[in-house]
Amino acid sequence: MKICCRKLTLIVTCSLLVLQIAAQDSLRVFPTHWWVGMKNRNLQLIFYNNHKDLAVDKLVVQSGNTAIKIKKVNKVSNRHYLVVDVEIAAGAQPAKYEISFGGIIRSEWNHVFYELKPRSKQNGKTRIKGINSSDLIYLIMPDRFSNGDAGNDRIAGLRDQSLDRSDFFKRHGGDLKGIQNHLDYLQQLGVTTLWLNPVLLNDMPDRTEHGYAFTDHYTIDPRLGGATAYHELIDSLHKRGMKIIQDAVYNHVGIEHFLFRDMPDSSWFHWWPVYTNTTYKDQVLMDPYASQSDKKRMSDGWFTQTMPDVNQGNAFFANFLIQHAIWCTEEFGLDGWRIDTYAYNDLDFMNRCNQALLNEYPQLHMFGETWVHGIPNQSFFTRNKYNIPYKSNLPGVTDFQLNLYGIVPALTQAFGWTEGVNRLYLTATNDFVYTDATKNVIFLDNHDMSRFFSMVGEDVAKQKMGLAWLLTFRGIPQLYYGTEILMKGFSDPDGKVRLDFPGGWTGDGANKFEPGGRTPAENEVYNYVRTLANYRKTASALKTGKMMQFVPEDGVYVYFRYNNQQTVLCVMNTNDGEKEIDMHRFSERIKNFTRARSVIDGSELDITGNIKVPGKTVWVGELR
C-alpha cells in the first residue's frame, strides 16, 4: 500500500557522511550501492530488517541533501520492508549519503549511508565489451572444475555441509580461485570467454553444485570465494583480453531465499490451490489455438517444488531483478549474460529487462536458454522476422536446434533424405527466420545434456568432427569444460555429465591440465581444438564472415565461410570410408582459387579437379 503524504509527515534526509553510526547488522538495502552517471537516474531501494518493523505507523524521513531525491515511499504488507523510490541528481558526486527514517522515537531510527560510486572509465574498452561470433565461450561449473582454496570448502552457518567428492550429488569444493589458477590453460586452448554456472549464493539444504536456486541476489557464494574472488577472477580475465558471462535466473529463486521465507507480501510469487508444476510446454505461448489455462500453467507453474516461481508482474520484484542485473554488470564488468529458462519468464518483463540493460550498455550481449523443439519455437524467443503480436528483443539464444536436430543426428544417423548430415543442412536453411543468427550460441553439449563424446559412441574421429563444426559454423561457439579432453557421461540414467575436471584437486590421480597427464587420444583432441581455436582467433572469415552451404550428397556436406579477405572451405564426410569429391560443383565460391591449405596440418590440396577426403573427417582449409 502506498503512503499518502496527507496522512503522515514525510521528511527525507540525504546528507554527506560525517560521522560513524552504530552498527545495524540486520538492516540491509538493495541494491547495496549504485553509481552516478547512469542514463536512468531513477532507482528503487528496498530496505529490509528481519528483526524490526521499518514501516512504522507515523513514518518520518529526514531530508537535506539534493544528491538523492526521495520521490515516493511505498509500504508492503510485511513491515520488515520499506520500498523507496529515489532519483539520483544529474550532478550527484560519488560519496556516501545518509538516508534516515523512523517513527516518533528517535532512538529507534534507521540510518543508512548509501554509497554512490563513479562508473568505470573502462566500460566498453577492457570490460563490458559484449560477446560476438569472434569469441569462443568455455562453460564451467565452478564446483566441478578446480579447487583453488580449500579454506572455503565448507562455510559455517550455511545449510549444505555435504562436501564429498565420492558422491556425485554432493558438493565437491571447486571455486573461483581454481578457475583463475588455470587461465593459462584456457587461453592457450583458444578460449576467449568464460561462462560460469551461477555464482550467487545458493544456501539450500542439498544439491547446490549447480547454483540455479538463488537465496540472496547480492551475495557471491562464499564457498566459491565470495565477491573478492569473483572480482579477482574477472580482473584477471580482462587483463588478458578475455571476457566473462554471468548466468541470470529471473524465473525462480531457491525456496530458502529471504524474499520467499519472509515475503514482502504474497503477490511476489505465483500461487496455486495445490502445488502446480510448469508443463514445460513452450508451444502454448505461440499456439494460436492454446487455452489460457495451459498458458498460465506453462508460465506461472513452479519449475520444481524447491524453486518458487517469481511473479514478474509485481512491479517491486520486477524492479529488484532488473536493478540487480544492471548492478552486477557495472559492479563486476560483465561482458554478457546467459539467461536461464528463458521461455518460462513473463516475456513482457524480459523485453523490459533486456532493454534496461541495453540502454545502459548497448554493447552487452544476452542470450537465452531455449531448450525447445522446433525452429519456430526457438526463434519466437529472440529477434526474428515474424509479423506477430509478441516481438522479442532478446539478441540471441542457445541454439538447441542446431544441436538436437543438427550436429547430433549428422554424426549419429545414417545418411538419408532427411536424416544424417541432411538434418544439419536442413536446420541451417531456416536461419532466414532470425534477425541475426550469428548472435546465437552453438554447442555440442552443456551441463544438462549428455556429453557429446558419449553421444557419438566414444568415437574420437566423430568427436573431432563435432569440434570442427563447432569452430567453423555460423554463430558463437560454446565449449563445455572437459569436451577437449574427451570427458564423457550420459545425462540419463546416471547424470554424470558434471564430473570433476581431473587435476583440479590436490591428489588427483591424473592432471589433465598438463600434456603428461593426458592419454594419447586426449592429447590428440586437445591439440586439435587448440590448433583450430587459435587459428579462428585470426580468421576473419570464421569469426564474422558469411556462410554458403551446398546440398549434401552421399553423406558429404560442404560449406564455406568467406569475406573479401579470406575463404575457408569445410568438407564434412560423415561416411566411414574415403570420398572423392568433384570440386567443379563449388565453382561459384572457388573460381578465384586453385589450392587449399589445411588449417590442422598445413598440407595442401589442388582444388581445380577432384579431391579425396577421408571418412569421418571435417577437412578445413583456407583457399589460396
User: Are the beta carbons of 450 and 480 closer than 8 angstroms?
Assistant: no
C-alpha cell at 210: 549447480
Q: CA angle 399-402-408, nearest 5°?
A: 130
Residue type at 493? Answer: P
What string of DSSP letters covers 42-91?
Answer: EEEEEEEETTS--S-SS-EEE---SSEEEEEEE--SSTTEEEEEEEE-TT
**CB atoms < 10 A from the CB of 305, how many?**
9
CA distance 429 to 440: 15
Query: What's the start-to-end Cα distance of the chain, in Å?
Result: 71
C-alpha cell at 173: 569444493
**CB atoms < 10 A from the CB of 599, how many?**
22
Q: What is the DSSP letter of 422?
A: H
User: Are the beta carbons of 199 and 224 closer than 8 angstroms?
Assistant: yes
CA distance 118 to 86: 18
CA distance 231 to 235: 6
Q: What are phi and psi of 29, to 5 degrees?
A: -135, 140
CA distance 57 to 36: 33
Nearest to 424 by CA among 442, 403, 439: 403
Annotated catalytic residues are 340, 369
| Chain length of the chain | 624
User: Are the beta carbons of 506 and 165 closer than 8 angstroms?
Assistant: no
User: Are the beta carbons of 533 and 471 closer than 8 angstroms?
Assistant: yes
User: Are the beta carbons of 257 and 214 closer than 8 angstroms?
Assistant: yes
CA distance 82 to 434: 43
Name the pairing type of β-strands 595-598 and 441-443. Answer: unpaired
CA distance 368 to 378: 10
- Cα-atom radius of gyration of the chain, to the nearest Å? 27
Count Cβ neighbours within 10 Å for each residue of 160-185 and write b for 16 or more, e otherwise.
beebebeebebbbbbbbbbbbbbbeb
Rounded to the nearest 10°, the torsion over CA 223, 319, 194, 382 is 140
Residue type at 92? Answer: A
CA distance 188 to 186: 5
